[in-house]
A = this chain, B = another copy of it.
Amino acid sequence: MNQPKRYLNIVSEMRDMIREQNILPGDRIPSERELAEKLAVGRSTIREALRSLELLGLIETRRGEGTFLADPRKHRLVELLATFILQDNKTLEDVRETMCIHETAAIQAICASDASKLPVWESLRDRLGGHEFIREDFVRELMVLSGNRLSLKIWFLLKQYGGNPYDGEVMPEERPLLKNILQAIEQQDAETAIRDFKAWSSVLIKGENEQWQ
């Protein structure tokens, strides 16, 4: 019978250990030799597990010093998978489509909710009028306003994974379109808002900086 691989056990045991001993980002993890002895496996097995976690950016190792729990902001999962998978067009397509699913759902949710968020709303409109308005900020604001934090997180990760289509600054030509979207949302007209949003988004994806710089 094919036994489960040990280094995978090590991975989960280490996760448990980190949780139980309340090891925080930046803290030191026991040395490879200690772990090997404690878990009763060879050092090479420990290393296979640690290298896997390191490639994911979950831990950092510094020769001569030790191994440390990494800052969660440094997790590398997304970039890594991207370098291997991005050639698969269907996958990239799926990612963007899934992003769009969450975006339109957010708009729908905002339109369906009672409009008690006016202060936030005004601020968004103001910034749209001002200078230096980043496209991504606009969409992210919508995701936040939807109130579904899980959806927001998924969207955020997909964005990194799929090559951010909302890179760059809002051009003057785009502003009327964005204003229309805001207005439609305020009038709780989800259909129009989504239609306009998709129009804006599809130009960004297809034309990739052709039409608007």
Q: Interface on A for B, CB 8 Å cutoff?
A: 2, 7-8, 11, 15, 19, 44, 47-49, 51-52, 54-56, 58, 62-63, 72, 75, 77, 80-81, 83-91, 94-95, 97-98, 101-102, 104-105, 148-151, 153-154, 157, 161
Closest-by-CB residue of B relative to A89 is B149
Copies of this polypeptide in the complex: 2
A-B contact list, 13 entries, CB within 8 Å: A11-B55, A15-B83, A44-B44, A44-B47, A52-B56, A55-B55, A72-B84, A72-B85, A72-B91, A75-B85, A77-B80, A81-B157, A94-B150
Residue of B63, B80, B97, B148 near A98 (CB, 8 A) is B148
Q: Are A7 and B51 in contact, with the CB atoms below 8 A?
A: yes
Closest-by-CB residue of B relative to A105 is B101
Give the docked Cα–Cα distance between A149 and B102 (Å). Answer: 15
Chain B hits for A104, CB < 8 A: 105
Q: Are B75 and A81 in contact, with the CB atoms below 8 A?
A: yes
Chain B hits for A94, CB < 8 A: 148-151
Which residue, of A87, A94, A150, A154, has the highest number of chain B Cβ atoms within 10 A?
A150
Chain B hits for A88, CB < 8 A: 72
Chain B hits for A54, CB < 8 A: 52
Give the docked Cα–Cα distance between A19 and B8 (Å). Answer: 28
Residue of B11, B87, B154 near A154 (CB, 8 A) is B154
Q: Are A150 and B75 in contact, with the CB atoms below 8 A?
A: no
Tell me, rounded to whole Å, the shortest Cβ–Cβ distance linking A13 to chain B.
Answer: 13
Q: Are A97 and B15 in contact, with the CB atoms below 8 A?
A: no
Q: Are B77 and A81 in contact, with the CB atoms below 8 A?
A: yes
Tell me, rounded to whole Å, the shortest Cβ–Cβ distance linking A106 to chain B.
Answer: 9
Tell me, rounded to whole Å, the shortest Cβ–Cβ distance linking A93 to chain B.
Answer: 9
